[in-house]
């Protein structure tokens, strides 16, 4: 097996035994990036020099007997995480020249373990999108089919894993932005419970919805990455002070007696036949493992997309007001006066989708419309949270599709934003409820594209979905399938 094919735990074992050095591993991944980036475009910035320095430091640390699960492991980050001294763009022209003076907390935690940063990954601009087509730095392509999207907004994070350009990546999930690309690229992707991982140093899109999580090749790696970044952070007022368990201990291939809920609203007419087939086979697999199924209802699902696109855009309107051409980022050199500088800097710096969402959010928050739109959306959000609370009285985990279809073709939905928004219909409710969910490879469609299974857990129930995911993974071979790039 080539070095770039190794998982975190496989590479860790080789580093620990001295069969491989971190420098050798890092050079192998950098060579892989160089070989495939011309077709995939998963990276915005490749940090070759920094990576080799990190790898040398990791090798010294390993030689001294100070080794943690991620020491010497090549990792890449969505370009939404602040990285000290390394350009952070959020895939936007407005931040093209921004060099952060500090690290995001999640990045600092990975550095404490001795990870090797190989680069910053492409995404939808300011994480606003479902296809990674809105990036200022070009579209990312799906390694399984270069004519298809990788999903979004963490499309680079998933594509880099599928293309074997990094051992693991971090993404963010506001309405499905980890789970949906993980599904489309045949990876494992986990959105933790809101408050489980610090958001400090993560460029904000919608502050009450954003959450940091890992994208990996298998469930074991996912548990390792989650354990590395989870935990209380006093710098993040929404971070929850709870102990962080050893998530790898939840990885037992036993789900006997586990109650799995099937929400009737998610298994609907119009679901792609390949997705339906993958879900039916997954249910049969779990039954064979001894899990019990119960039908549940999440009655306010139909309102989730509309609710999300009021709350998320309203928060985006507020969060993106700071990009004014004054303190950092792009400043127009054609402006005549202060107000004109604000207007032109923002017009030149933001892409079309970001502008659309800022305008939607500003309208929803405006005088005379606040109660009718934003306030009502918050009330519906409460109803959606209550739906999940009632469902978890009957089920331990919930099983659903991740997306209604496998990955669609590049450009297929670009002219129809509403159709693009509806591609996240099964993931958005989990963000609104603030609970945890993950995508696990569960099939390959007739077109040769991966299909993911979504497992949703109670708030701070990451161990339960990791256990269910691991049991499914060990009983199937889907996670071993590879993109023929």
Catalytic residues: 78, 153, 177
- Between CA 438 and CA 455 the distance in angstroms is 5
Element of type H or E holding 472: helix 462-475
DSSP 448: S
Six-digit token string for 289: 């493992």
Element of type H or E holding 439: strand 436-444
- Between CA 111 and CA 9 the distance in angstroms is 18
Task: Report which of 201, 29, 51 is spatially closest to residue 117, judged by C-alpha positions.
Answer: 51
Place of tokens 């990954």: 121
Six-digit token string for 105: 């907390």
Six-digit token string for 355: 């502008």
Six-digit token string for 301: 């699902």
Beta bridge partners of 86: 83
- Between CA 243 and CA 485 the distance in angstroms is 41
- Between CA 93 and CA 228 the distance in angstroms is 31
- Between CA 167 and CA 165 the distance in angstroms is 7
Q: How far is CA 321 from the centre of its chain?
A: 24
- Between CA 51 and CA 343 the distance in angstroms is 39
Cβ neighbours for 212, distance < 8 A, ≥ 6 positions apart: 81, 106, 170, 171, 172, 173, 192, 197, 198, 199, 202, 229
Six-digit token string for 328: 């950092």
Task: Report which of 143, 140, 144 is spatially closest to residue 130, judged by C-alpha positions.
Answer: 140
Contact 443, 278 (CB under 8 A): yes
Determine how many CB atoms are found less than 10 A away from the CB of residue 356: 15
- Between CA 323 and CA 77 the distance in angstroms is 22
Q: How far is CA 85 from the centre of its chain?
A: 24
DSSP 204: P
Task: Report which of 217, 305, 237, 261 is spatially closest to residue 394, judged by C-alpha positions.
Answer: 261
Place of tokens 């159709």: 419
């Amino acid at each position: 097996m080539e070095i770039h094919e190794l998982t975190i735990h496989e590479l860790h074992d080789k580093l620990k035994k001295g069969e491989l050095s971190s420098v050798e591993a890092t050079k192998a991944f950098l060579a892989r990036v160089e070989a495939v980036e011309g077709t995939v475009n998963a990276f915005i910035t490749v940090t070759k020099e920094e990576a080799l320095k990190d790898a040398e430091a990791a090798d010294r640390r390993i030689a001294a007997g100070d080794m943690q699960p991620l020491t010497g492991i090549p990792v890449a980050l969505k370009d939404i995480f602040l990285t000290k001294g390394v350009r952070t763009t959020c895939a936007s022209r407005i931040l093209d020249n921004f060099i952060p003076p500090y690290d995001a907390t999640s990045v600092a935690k990975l550095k404490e373990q001795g990870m090797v940063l190989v680069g910053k990954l492409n995404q939808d601009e300011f994480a606003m999108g479902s296809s990674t087509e809105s990036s200022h730095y070009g579209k990312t392509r799906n390694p399984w089919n270069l004519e298809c999207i990788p999903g979004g907004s963490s499309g680079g994070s998933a594509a880099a894993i599928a293309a074997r350009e990094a051992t693991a990546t971090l993404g963010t999930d506001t309405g499905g932005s980890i789970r949906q690309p993980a599904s489309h690229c045949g990876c494992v992707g986990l959105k933790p419970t809101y408050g489980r991982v610090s958001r400090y140093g993560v460029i904000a899109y919608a502050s009450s919805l954003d959450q940091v999580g890992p994208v990996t090749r298998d469930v074991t790696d996912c548990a390792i990455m989650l354990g590395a970044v989870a935990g209380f952070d006093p710098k993040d007022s929404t971070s929850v002070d709870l102990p962080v368990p050893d998530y790898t201990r939840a990885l037992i291939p036993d789900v006997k007696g586990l109650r799995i809920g099937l929400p009737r609203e998610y298994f609907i007419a119009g679901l792609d036949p390949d997705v339906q087939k993958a879900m039916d086979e997954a249910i049969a697999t779990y039954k064979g493992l001894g899990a019990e199924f119960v039908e549940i209802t999440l009655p306010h699902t139909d309102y989730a997309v509309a609710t999300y696109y009021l709350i998320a855009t309203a928060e985006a309107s507020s969060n993106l007001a700071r990009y004014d051409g004054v303190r950092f980022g792009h400043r127009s050199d054609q402006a005549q006066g202060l107000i004109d500088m604000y207007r032109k800097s923002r017009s030149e710096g933001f892409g079309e989708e970001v502008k659309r969402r800022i305008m939607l959010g500003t309208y929803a928050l405006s005088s005379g419309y606040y109660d009718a739109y934003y306030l009502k959306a918050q009330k519906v959000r409460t109803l959606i949270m209550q739906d999940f609370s009632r469902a978890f009285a009957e089920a331990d985990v919930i099983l659903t599709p991740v997306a209604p279809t496998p990955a669609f073709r590049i450009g297929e939905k670009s002219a129809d934003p509403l159709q693009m928004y509806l591609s996240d219909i099964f993931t958005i409710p989990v963000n609104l409820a603030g609970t945890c969910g993950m995508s696990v490879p569960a099939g390959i469609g007739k077109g040769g594209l991966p299909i993911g299974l979504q497992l949703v857990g109670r708030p701070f129930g990451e161990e339960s979905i990791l256990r269910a995911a691991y049991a499914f993974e060990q009983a199937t071979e889907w996670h071993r399938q590879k993109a023929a790039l």
